[in-house]
Amino acid sequence: MTASVSLTVTESDTAVSLRSGDVPVLGTPRLVALCEEASCQVLEGRLAPGRTSVASRVQFDHLVPVPVGATVTAEATLEKVEGRRLVFTISVALDAKDRAALVAAGRLTRVAVDRPAFLAKARCDDPSLCRDPSAPTDRPRGVEN
């Protein structure tokens, strides 16, 4: 199962705008989001009622810069289902009249979850699922607040 999503790059999609760099080209976070959107389209209507999926792992190589005004297409293909884990191959290609270029490629793992339980955990409706805010945090050495 495969789905694809296209995007014409605007200023709001750039690394500068996303605060992920200081160059006015398509930002990596926007590329990842586009791939997530394509993976969600693959799953649309295929999960049981009350179920959704959340991204849990992204392995991604951003290969070439893409300027504002260019159009890219992200494609996600569901490669395997391992219980609740859904593993996709993802790629992004530049749509150009005179050339086609691979912009990015990788793998994306989503996990199927019970939507109400997931949201309850996020809101901490059930204290047994929530981290105690007074508990010390585990921080790597040398990292300040």
Q: Would you kindly state where each structural domain of the chain is located, as residue ranges? A: 2-126
For 81, half-sphere exposure in the C-beta direction (CA atoms, 13 angstrom radius) is 9
Chain segment 51-77, per-residue pLDDT in tens: 999 999 999 999 999 999 999 999 999
The pLDDT of residue 97: 67
* DSSP string for 47-96: SPTTEEEEEEEEEEEE-S--BTT-EEEEEEEEEEEETTEEEEEEEEEEE-
Q: Where does the pLDDT of residue 122 fall: very low under 50, low under 70, confident under 90, or very high at 90 and above?
A: confident
The model carries a pTM of 0.81
Question: Looking at residue 140, what is its pLDDT?
Answer: 46
Judge: domain 2-126, CATH 3.10.129.10.
Answer: yes
